[in-house]
Amino acid sequence: MQKLTRKSLHDLNQRLSSEIKMRVTGNKKAYITVGVDSAGIENGAQQIVQLLHTEIEAAGMHGEIIVLQSGESFLSVSEQNNKPPLVEVILRNQDPVVYQCVTPDIAKKIIHTHIIKQQILTEYISDSHTAPTQKEDE
């Protein structure tokens, strides 16, 4: 049996995290994770979290969209050249999308365009991600 190291645990977490998140989405429309590590905080991540909550309330979607905060980067080491704050969006039956350099204006667009209208904001997707394809209902 192979010895578990910090790197192997991190790699395992990266590989399984979106699958685990999708298992618990249940009847939620979306999960949004904001990277509030030190780089994210320095670049306004806490303001983004507050704004997302405000926009969700204003859209009447409280309880349908969950906002999470991650104190550690949810990107793999090879993806950490992206610019904070980072925001990951997981809609039911869709692959995760990671946005970089999220400003208050982009955060509003994430709620109103990506989540409500289900149109991915390709111009803000992180460097290491491409627009995902929609999964078929299982």
Which residues on adjacent β-strands are paired with residue 99? 87, 125
pLDDT digits 0-9 by tens, 22-77: 445 567 889 999 988 888 888 899 999 999 999 999 999 988 999 999 876 555 44
Domains and CATH numbers, the chain: 27-124 (3.40.30.10)
For residue 8, is pLDDT > 90? no
Q: Is residue 11 pLDDT above 80, yes or no?
A: no
pLDDT tens digits along 73-98:
555 443 455 688 899 999 988 889 99
The three-class DSSP label of residue 70 is strand
The residue whose two tokens read 């249940």 is 26
pLDDT tens-place string over residues 99-125: 999 999 999 999 999 999 999 999 999
**DSSP state at residue 96:** -
In Å, what is the CA distance from 123 to each residue of 76, 97, 100, 118, 119?
21, 12, 10, 15, 12
Helix (H) or strand (E) holding 131: none
